[in-house]
Amino acid sequence: MDLLLAAAAAAAQTPAPTGAAPNPLIQLAPLVFIFVIFYFLLIRPQQQARKKHMEMVQNVRRGDTVVTAGGVVGKVTKVLEGDEVMVEIADNVVVKVLKATLTDVKSKSQPANDQ
């Protein structure tokens, strides 16, 4: 038993062989790989959706049915200068709404989804 303990103590005292320093590019490869995955799965689709939404909001026209961020559904009666539109939300009730608050635009040429 003493011989086994002496061998273990001797093994613990011997220094580990030192090899060449690892290549920094190999150490960074997993981080770069993770960033590429995040870009293609999260960042790029979000940018494309935002671009599509901005295009949809900028192309809003008179007669389009819109949904605001607050959930109000109405019909565009007038597109004002800048970033505002006039939306009729009920008979003879017209409100001024910022284009940035529009979440959905259904143009008058699009068929309604009846489900």
Q: What is the pLDDT of residue 115?
A: 41
Q: How many CA atoms lie less than 13 Å away from 83 in the CB half-sphere?
A: 8
97: number of Cβ within 10 Å: 22
Average pLDDT estimate for 77-85? 92
Q: What is the pLDDT of residue 114?
A: 44
Q: What is the pLDDT of residue 22?
A: 79
Identify the structural domains of the chain with CATH numbers, from first to last.
25-106 (2.30.30)
Q: What is the pLDDT of residue 20?
A: 73
Select from 75, 77, 68 the least CA-distant residue to 99.
68
Lookup: tokens for 38? 């995040």
Select from 86, 106, 89 the least CA-distant residue to 98.
86
Q: What is the pLDDT of residue 2?
A: 67
- Report the C-alpha gap between 67 and 73 in whole angstroms: 5
Q: What is the pLDDT of residue 5?
A: 63
14-69 tens-digit pLDDT: 555 566 777 888 889 999 999 999 999 999 999 999 999 999 999 999 999 999 99
Lookup: tokens for 87? 């939306």
Average pLDDT over the chain reads 85
Q: How many CA atoms lie less than 13 Å away from 44 in the CB half-sphere?
A: 7
